[in-house]
Amino acid sequence: MADQLALNLRLRAETTLAAYIPSSEQGEIPETVGALVAGRVEVPQLYLWGGPGTGKTHLAQAACHEAGAQGLSAAYLPLAELSAVGPVVLEGLSTVRVLAIDDLEQVWTRPEWQRALFGLINEVREREGRLLFTATARPDAEQVTLADLRSRLLWGPVFHLRPLDEPRLRRMLQLGARTRGFPLGESETEYLLRHAARDPESLMTLLDRLDAASLKARRRVTVPLIRAVLDQD
């Protein structure tokens, strides 16, 4: 199952630690993720929670990118996509060095998943692996009815991710554009923030569309091109 997941669940190329823009006063979060992967933390587990657009998926994938760069085995599990398969997707993953489990809230009300996650955490810790969890609520949320699982999810540091303010949204857009190989000027950035959905996931998807449109038309990414792409919606 782990080999099959590795084939089917590709990481986005741009979801690296270097490309992550933290919210105000949370600059330590990407550093903490990097330290987790490198084994420089006292407790090799990290729990990140927050609302939509706070970078949870980015950081989960970034941990796996970082592991690969260090020659460590890694697996990324987006439970929003995998919950229907059942906890069988967790089988064989205790040997992975860095395991990032995204969208934990998708399964934590289901007893069979709670038991499987409890067992997996114990096995990974016994093998000295590293664990990163993301969810939309705290690890001690009342939906986690298995007390033993709640206690395991609280073993390591817990961070509440905050939404980005406008200056950081601008930085994120311009860095995301550079990562994709094209510049994004101030006027183009301003137009995007005024006319597009402002959540980071939607903005990154829009950058992908702009990149494709720019290559197809052999044009720079300008306000008219952005307007044309947005008019397609």
User: Is domain 166-231 classified as CATH 2.50.20?
Assistant: no
Mean pLDDT of the chain: 91
pLDDT at residue 3 tops 50: no
pLDDT, tens digit (0-9, with 9 covering 90-100), for 79-129:
999 999 999 999 999 999 999 999 999 998 999 999 999 999 999 999 999
**Is 121 strand, coil or helix?**
helix
Strand order through the sheet with 98-102: 74-78, 98-102, 130-135, 45-49, 158-160
pLDDT, tens digit (0-9, with 9 covering 90-100), for 51-81:
988 999 999 999 999 999 999 999 999 999 9
Token representation of residue 26 = 């949370």
Burial class (CB within 10 angstroms; exposed 0-12, middle 13-18, buried 19+) of 91: exposed
Count other C-beta atoms under 10 Å from residue 95's C-beta. Answer: 13
Domain boundaries of the chain, sorted by first residue: 2-160, 166-231
pLDDT at residue 6 tops 50: no
Q: Which of 64 and 13 is assigned the larger pLDDT?
A: 64
Q: So what's the pLDDT on residue 172?
A: 92
pTM of the model: 0.86
Q: Within the chain, where are the H helices?
A: 2-8, 28-38, 56-69, 79-82, 111-126, 147-153, 166-180, 186-195, 200-217, 223-231
Question: The domain 2-160 is classified under which CATH number: 3.30.160.270, 3.40.50.970, 3.40.50.300, 3.30.70.20?
Answer: 3.40.50.300
Q: Crossing angle of helices 200-217/166-180, nearest 10°?
A: 40
Q: What percent of the chain has pLDDT over 70?
A: 96
Q: Band the pLDDT of 201: cuts 50, 70, 90.
A: confident
pLDDT, tens digit (0-9, with 9 covering 90-100), for 167-200:
999 999 999 999 899 999 999 999 999 999 888 8
